[in-house]
Amino acid sequence: MGTQTIKLSTLLFSAAAAVALSAYVLPTPAVHAADDGHKHEEGEKHKEGDKHEHKEGEKHGDEHGGAQVDLGTTKIGGFDVQVTRVGELKAGEEAVFIIKPTGGTGEPKAVRAWVGVETGQGSIKTKAEEEKEGEWHAHHAVSKPMPAKSKLWIEVEVGSTKSKGSYELKM
């Protein structure tokens, strides 16, 4: 046997041994210092396989920072759509909107948001994600500059029908 064959055999054996031994390694639970700001609700624990990470200073339930401002409820395509803005709204920055369509017929296929004029001209449209059942979150990049007389526009799509309504920004 040549030297290269022996090296390859040794490498393959080492890799096979590492794979075999990995089956016997038990996962270790996450350990947190008592003062690291990592909090759980009473009785809440990480679930096995939960690979989420926390940003520096972030706690459970602290997904969106800032004051919550109720922008109201508007009828859009048969739905009563309540919107809450989280944090400040500034041109050129991300704004977070929590959108809750209730009532109506069917389930929204898509919910979109933009800050600007009704046509969306000069604005960036954002497709919201359903983060909880019946609760859509739009992480919206606000255009800079914002068009004059801008409002928040929400579009709800059900089947092939798209309907929209507007909200005052309450800045």
> Structurally, what CATH architecture does the domain formed by 68-167 represent?
Sandwich (2.60)
| pLDDT (0 to 100) of residue 65 | 75
pLDDT given at position 103: 94
End-to-end CA distance of the chain: 78
Could you tell me the CA-to-CA distances from 134 to 26, 34, 61, 106, 159 in Å, in that order?
38, 36, 18, 12, 17
Token digits of residue 3: 């030297």
pTM for the whole thing?
0.64
C-beta neighbour count of 7 within 10 angstroms: 10
The full set of domain ranges for the chain reads 1-62, 68-167
Q: Which residues of the chain have pLDDT under 70?
A: 1-64
Give the integer Cα–Cα distance in Å for 121 and 86.
24
Distance CA 78, CA 108 (A): 11
